[in-house]
Amino acid sequence: MNREEAPAVAAPGGWFIAPDLWTDMDQWHREVAAIRRDRPVLLVEQPGYERFWVLTRHEDVFAVSRDNANWHNTVRAVLGPDLDYQQMIEQDLPQPKSLVQLDGADHRDHRAVTNDWFKPAAVGSRQSRID
């Protein structure tokens, strides 16, 4: 999608979806700091995008990550235009199935495959390679 085809974006949600607004990162950070101060939990509803929530404070992200009853993962874990998602479906591409797209038993079972690799002792033993 080129810029002429892209839907118009409105503040404050536009700061999270419009690529041209990311060209000046100092300005982006100033705008998002104001959003964090004034509306730390923001529902973004923009034409051409599935609505989504922006959480700008660590404590809110942490709370949501622990609230499985009200917040669920989605196959659309990567923010992008509806058109991109629709093209993926039309081309019969498989929908993503990683930990960020799974909930409940599916999440638990997939996580169990690599869980031991991410325990502190295991990561510590690979720290020199990681560095």
Q: Does residue 1 have a pLDDT over 80? A: no
Q: Is the pTM of this model over 0.85?
A: no
For residue range 53-102, list pLDDT tens digits in order: 999 999 999 999 889 888 887 777 778 899 988 998 899 988 777 787 88
Q: What is the pLDDT of residue 8?
A: 58
As given in the structure block, the two tokens for residue 30 are 């100033």
Interior CA angle at 87 toward 83 and 91, to 5°? 175
- Residue that wins the pLDDT comparison between 73 and 10: 73
- What's the pLDDT band for 2 if we cut at 50, 70, 90? very low
Structure tokens at 118: 């991410």
Q: For the chain, what is the mean pLDDT? A: 86
Q: Three-state secondary structure along 23-81?
A: CCHHHHHHHHHHHHHHCCEEEECCCCCCCEEEECCHHHHHHHHCCCCCCCCCCCCCCCC
What is the predicted pLDDT for the residue at 97?
78
**Whole-angstrom distance, CA of residue 13 vs CA of residue 21:** 11
